Chain A
């Protein structure tokens, strides 16, 4: 067979394969074979990803610091404080102590919110895609995790579960551009939606366009969406940009959670998201 003809056949076969896989994937349910394969490999890859994450943490921190030189002096002061507090500790390693501290904070938060049943999870990976702000945690359906459950830390809301494997789950961060969380401004009680933008800040869209939004306002979950319990801190308004006539204002909200430093999170198991309860009832 002439090479040009063989090449043409190869390309056609590849394109047909792609279209077939995409079609099958989109048409099947979340429990279909392709989704199962994906969840299986996600479970398989999570520990490897976690291992590399730990190995490369110092290198990553070094690179990130290069880009944050202007804020280093402030960070240095914070770090000095942290070092001082760590020195008070005994012979335990610094990393272990920080982890224990974080777990204690999570436990404290869990005790303060006793009406919410939670399960602790470690961050074991991040999305390989540039289009999404996702994280992978090491708890899945075997720990009672279900789709749309909220993920929090003591600082505030992290995101929600969008995919569940048996031993791992995918968390959609609140900064992901597909994320929208029902929110309430604590100062004026106005409700709205906090939308992610794939950036460091999010956008607060109040239901009432005339609502007076001010820099410094704190946004918490309203519980109106049905997936997230009310009263969980989301972030603080850092800028209110007035736009030309006809366009909505841009109310920027900076999340309380520092996603780059997350190691452990809590997944809210009960109350279950209403959408899950409704689906199960059907």
Chain B
């Protein structure tokens, strides 16, 4: 992947992080809010590959961990695992249909919340909340699905614009 592409991804992670800490809590419904960093990591995993998704998941998760009152590194770990798995699953299905990221986001949201809770449980964090599937996990997954319906088309569009630009630049006399 080109340097320009990495810069674009870094800016995307930063934007997702800012929106996650500043804007998303304002859209909390019934105690649930979209996890924009996870959604972006999954979309990157689908468009670029599992390793790129994992890197985005790690960086975004770590940023979020640093400004949240929770065990540092757990969010980064769960998002890394979730995004990597999404990228691996994408390579199995090999399609750019929007249904794929929708399905993947739904699955990996459940996985990410499970990994997060399991890790905290292994660390001996007392008084963990019950794994509330109906009240928390499913609404969170559905909320993330709504977010991916917006994020995926936008990021895919940017990806093609960048590819077209790089093709023009690569042509002799293309500028």
Which residues of A are in contact with B by a Cβ distance under 8 Å?
7, 10-11, 14-15, 17-22, 25-26, 34, 37-38, 41-42, 44-45, 48-49, 51-53, 56-57, 59-60, 63-64, 67, 125-134, 162-163, 170, 176-178, 180, 197-199
Please measure, in the bound complex, the distance between the C-alpha atom of A60 and the C-alpha atom of B22, giving whole angstroms: 13
| Further pairs besides A22-B74, A127-B68, A170-B69: 20, Cβ < 8 Å | A7-B50, A17-B76, A18-B73, A48-B21, A51-B22, A53-B25, A56-B26, A59-B26, A63-B27, A128-B25, A128-B68, A129-B68, A130-B140, A131-B117, A177-B130, A178-B128, A197-B130, A198-B31, A198-B129, A198-B132
B57-71 CB contacts (< 8 Å) to partner A: 58, 62, 64-71
* Nearest 7 A/B pairs, CB to CB: A177-B129, A21-B73, A22-B73, A56-B26, A18-B77, A52-B22, A126-B25
Chain A min CB distance to B110 (Å): 12
User: Does B51 contact A63, Cβ atoms closer than 8 Å?
Assistant: no
Closest residue of A by beta carbon distance from B51: A7
User: Does A11 contact B84, Cβ atoms closer than 8 Å?
Assistant: yes
Which residues of A are found within 8 Å of B30, using beta-carbon distances?
67
User: Does A42 contact B69, Cβ atoms closer than 8 Å?
Assistant: yes
User: Does B69 contact A38, Cβ atoms closer than 8 Å?
Assistant: yes
Is B12 part of the contact surface with A, judged by Cβ < 8 Å?
no
Which residues of B are found within 8 Å of A44, using beta-carbon distances?
67
Q: Kindly supply a per-residue 1/0 record for chain B positions 23-61, scoring 1 wherever the CB is within 8 Å of any chain A CB and 0 otherwise.
A: 111111111110100000000000001110011001000
Which residues of B are found within 8 Å of A131, using beta-carbon distances?
113, 116-117, 129, 136
User: Does A128 contact B21, Cβ atoms closer than 8 Å?
Assistant: yes
Which residues of A are found within 8 Å of B175, using beta-carbon distances?
none
Chain A min CB distance to B150 (Å): 15
Q: Which of B33, B55, B69 contacts A130 (CB 8 A)?
A: B33
User: Does A49 contact B21, Cβ atoms closer than 8 Å?
Assistant: yes
Chain A min CB distance to B114 (Å): 12
Which residues of B are in contact with A by a Cβ distance under 8 Å?
20-33, 35, 49-51, 54-55, 58, 62, 64-77, 80, 84, 113, 116-117, 119, 123, 126-130, 132, 135-136, 140
Closest residue of B by beta carbon distance from A196: B129
Closest residue of A by beta carbon distance from B22: A52
Please measure, in the bound complex, the distance between the C-alpha atom of A41 and the C-alpha atom of B62, giving whole angstroms: 12
Which residues of A are found within 8 Å of B72, using beta-carbon distances?
21-22, 25, 34, 38
- A7-B51, A177-B129 are known contacts. Are A22 and B77 too (CB-CB below 8 A)? yes
Please measure, in the bound complex, the distance between the C-alpha atom of A26 and the C-alpha atom of B122, giving whole angstroms: 12
Which residues of A are found within 8 Å of B66, using beta-carbon distances?
37-38, 41
Which residues of B are found within 8 Å of A57, using beta-carbon distances?
26
- A7-B51, A14-B55, A198-B132 are known contacts. Are A60 and B26 too (CB-CB below 8 A)? yes
Which residues of B are found within 8 Å of A38, using beta-carbon distances?
65-69, 72
Please measure, in the bound complex, the distance between the C-alpha atom of A181 and the C-alpha atom of B31, giving whole angstroms: 21
Please measure, in the bound complex, the distance between the C-alpha atom of A34 and the C-alpha atom of B74, giving whole angstroms: 13
Chain B min CB distance to A141 (Å): 15
Which residues of B are found within 8 Å of A34, using beta-carbon distances?
72
